[in-house]
A and B are shown apart, each in its own frame.
Chain A
Amino acid sequence: LAKTTQPISMDSYEGQEVNITCSHNNIATNDYITWYQQFPSQGPRFIIQGYKTKVTNEVASLFIPADRKSSTLSLPRVSLSDTAVYYCLVGDNDTGFQKLVFGTGTRLLVSP
């Protein structure tokens, strides 16, 4: 499984856009990129998944350059409730993402 590298922590203020970048230099052709959010003492929650270019849903956007060696999770206008740990994972969707290996994640702190 491709290893991912993310910043350990990020700080932001309410209303700002937050971009968290993840490096995955060894991503394989069949690998998808998935982001999860985790609040303290809760299980991770799926945010978004993509393969290339740009994916957008109601909570976030995911930007993936052509070489797919990195990806950026974009959270528009964050609020205090977005304070959480964000994990970037890569895996083969054809095999159903059978084994998720979590990296260190990025601890986002949103302040008033």
Chain B
Amino acid sequence: GAVVSQHPSRVICKSGTSVKIECRSLDFQATTMFWYRQFPKQSLMLMATSNEGSKATYEQGVEKDKFLINHASLTLSTLTVTSAHPEDSSFYICSAKDGTYNEQFFGPGTRLTVL
């Protein structure tokens, strides 16, 4: 199956700083990527849909100015958590849709810890 990577796999930052997380589709082009957040022992929660070349679509309750999404190419989407706070500490997972097979492939996730 197709491979989606994320970088970094884990990051620790100080409160008030910004953190960028990259999501790449390694062997296919993804016009659409999705960003999820998962707190411990909870399910994945969709944050936003990232479309190449256009603005991201955010789910209700997700602050677009805090979680900046850029999908500049068909293989890369980035999520920037701005002015991070301890409550932003979570597991962030991206997925990419393979246009050929209509299947979503998930990245390995990024563990963010805000001190």
- A interface: dominant SS: loop
* Segment 54-107 of A: residues with Cβ below 8 Å from B: 87, 93, 96-105
Count B-side interface residues using an 8 Å CB cutoff. Answer: 25
Distance (whole angstroms) from the CB of A19 to the closest CB of chain B: 21
Query: Interface digits, A21-57 against B, CB 8 Å rule (1 contact, 0 not)?
Result: 0000000000000001010011111100100000000
> A residues within 8 Å of B by Cβ?
36, 38, 41-46, 49, 87, 93, 96-105
Instruction: Mark contacts of B74-115 with chain A using CB atoms, 8 A cut-off: 1 yes-contact digit, 0 otherwise.
Output: 000000000000000001010101010011111111010000
B111 touches A43 (CB 8 A): no
Chain B residue contacts of A105, Cβ below 8 A: 43
B49 on the A face (CB < 8 A): yes
Complex Cα–Cα for A36 and B111 (A): 20
In the complex the two chains form, what is the Cα distance from A103 to B42 in whole Å? 9
List residues of B whose CB falls within 8 A of some A CB: 1, 4, 6, 32, 34, 36, 43-46, 49, 91, 93, 95, 97, 99, 102-109, 111
Which residues of B sit under 8 angstroms from A104, Cβ to Cβ? 43
B residues within 8 A CB of A36?
Answer: 106
Contacting pair B46 A97 (CB below 8 A) = no
Identify A44's interface contact among B44, B46, B97, CB under 8 A. Answer: B44
